[in-house]
């Protein structure tokens, strides 16, 4: 709630009122000082009638015959907000001419103050959401009591199982367009009734929903991800109690890592199996493993293995999918075995190659 007007808002008010009525406007504080004005020469000067209007709370008109210090003819209107005097607006000119703009000046002023209040409220709410989400998913709960109060204010049940939703923009996406994508993501979160979410610089949006809300929103989330494959990946973390959501966030990161280099850009951690292990490996370990296993295979050999594993190592089904003769398939599998040292038709060796293909 605004109880004091800063210089920036004061100048915005006087400029806006003048744009409407065409007369010079003065903003006078409760000490009689002109705080803002469309006549820059008057800023900082004393306004005797402005002080009287502030003290009495009544509109005072000044004619050409009056002799008051720092005062010109015009109308001086005390402005009240939430039953408190915040300042006096002076409209310079013949009272009979500028009197008609008094009510309009009051309305414009109140609208601008209310707009400023809403901006401050929204900013403070956004900062609170940012604090809550960061505290929970980054394991940075410094004041548990204050955090619980914040959660209670937005009606979040601490006992419910929750999940983290992580949206990560591709490195090649132009971050200068962040306002555009921010609008789209905000609309998505509104659509799925996500109360807790924040933007984490430089390229992530983090949201927190309870399990029921995630299940209800899963199709919308997957659709949104599919519509924006060129700019983002999305993952849903494991189910956790509220104060253990750091683990859900880590699960999101593992899921996103397993999406690297794949056509898909949406994945639930709870739908993963071997990818949980693979997604936890460091780039250096992955590179060593690939070099030792499938690193020397060409693109066609890797594509063949993908289909071969997809068809559960069935020669017939693999041949049908690739329109390939069985003898040709056997020859190529043997060739892969010679190149890698692992026989794809032997179960233990196939597992090694499968992991390489997955990586």
Quote the CA–CA distance of 296 and 320 in Å, as a whole number: 26
Prediction pTM value: 0.57
**Buried/exposed 113-124: b ≥16 CB within 10 Å, e otherwise:** beebeeeeeeee
Q: How confident is the model at residue 122 (pLDDT cuts 50, 70, 90)?
A: low
pLDDT in tens, 51-69: 999 999 999 999 876 778 8
Q: Which residues, listed in sequence order, are joined to residue 33 by a DSSP beta bridge?
A: 46
Find the mean pLDDT for residues 152-180.
80
Structure confidence at residue 348 (pLDDT)? 85
Q: How confident is the model at residue 319 (pLDDT cuts 50, 70, 90)?
A: very high
Quote the CA–CA distance of 102 and 105 in Å, as a whole number: 5
CB 104 within 8 A of CB 20: yes
Could you give all domains of the chain from N- to C-terminal order, each with its CATH number? 7-116 (3.30.450.40), 156-278 (3.30.70.270), 283-358 (1.10.10.2840)
CA distances to 70, 300, 310, 329, 334 from 321, rounded to whole Å, are 92, 14, 10, 11, 19
Structure confidence at residue 38 (pLDDT)? 92
Say if residue 46's pLDDT is above 80.
yes
């Amino acid at each position: 709630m605004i109880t004091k007007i800063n210089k920036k808002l004061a100048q915005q008010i006087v400029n806006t009122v003048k744009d409407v009525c065409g007369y010079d406007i003065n903003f006078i504080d409760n000490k009689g000082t002109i705080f803002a004005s469309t006549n820059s020469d008057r800023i900082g000067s004393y306004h005797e009638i402005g002080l009287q209007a502030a003290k009495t709370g009544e509109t005072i008109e000044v004619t050409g015959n009056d002799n008051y210090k720092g005062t010109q003819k015009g109308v001086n209107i005390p402005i009240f907000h939430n039953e408190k005097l915040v300042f006096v607006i002076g409209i310079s000119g013949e009272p009979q001419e500028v009197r008609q703009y008094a009510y309009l000046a009051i309305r414009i002023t109140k609208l601008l103050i209310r707009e400023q209040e809403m901006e401050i409220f929204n900013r403070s709410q956004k900062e609170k959401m940012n604090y809550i989400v960061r505290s929970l998913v980054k394991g940075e709960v410094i004041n548990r009591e204050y955090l619980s109060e914040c959660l209670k204010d937005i009606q979040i049940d601490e006992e419910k199982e929750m999940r983290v939703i992580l949206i990560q923009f591709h490195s090649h996406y132009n971050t200068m367009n962040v306002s555009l994508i921010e609008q789209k993501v905000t609309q998505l979160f509104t659509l799925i009734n996500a109360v807790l979410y924040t933007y984490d610089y430089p390229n992530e949006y983090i949201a927190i929903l309870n399990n029921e809300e995630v299940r209800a929103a899963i199709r919308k989330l997957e659709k949104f991800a599919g519509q924006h494959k060129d700019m983002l990946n999305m993952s849903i973390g494991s189910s956790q109690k509220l104060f253990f959501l750091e683990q859900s966030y880590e699960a999101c990161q593992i899921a996103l890592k397993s999406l690297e280099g794949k056509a898909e850009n949406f994945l639930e951690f709870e739908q993963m199996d071997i990818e949980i292990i693979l997604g936890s490996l460091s780039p250096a370990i992955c590179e060593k493993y690939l070099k030792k296993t499938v690193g020397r295979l060409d693109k066609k050999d890797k594509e063949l293995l993908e289909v071969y594993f997809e068809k559960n190592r069935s020669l017939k089904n693999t041949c049908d999918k690739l329109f390939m003769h069985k003898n040709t398939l056997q020859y190529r599998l043997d060739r892969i075995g010679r190149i890698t040292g692992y026989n794809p038709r032997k179960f233990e060796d196939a597992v090694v190659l499968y992991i390489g293909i997955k990586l």
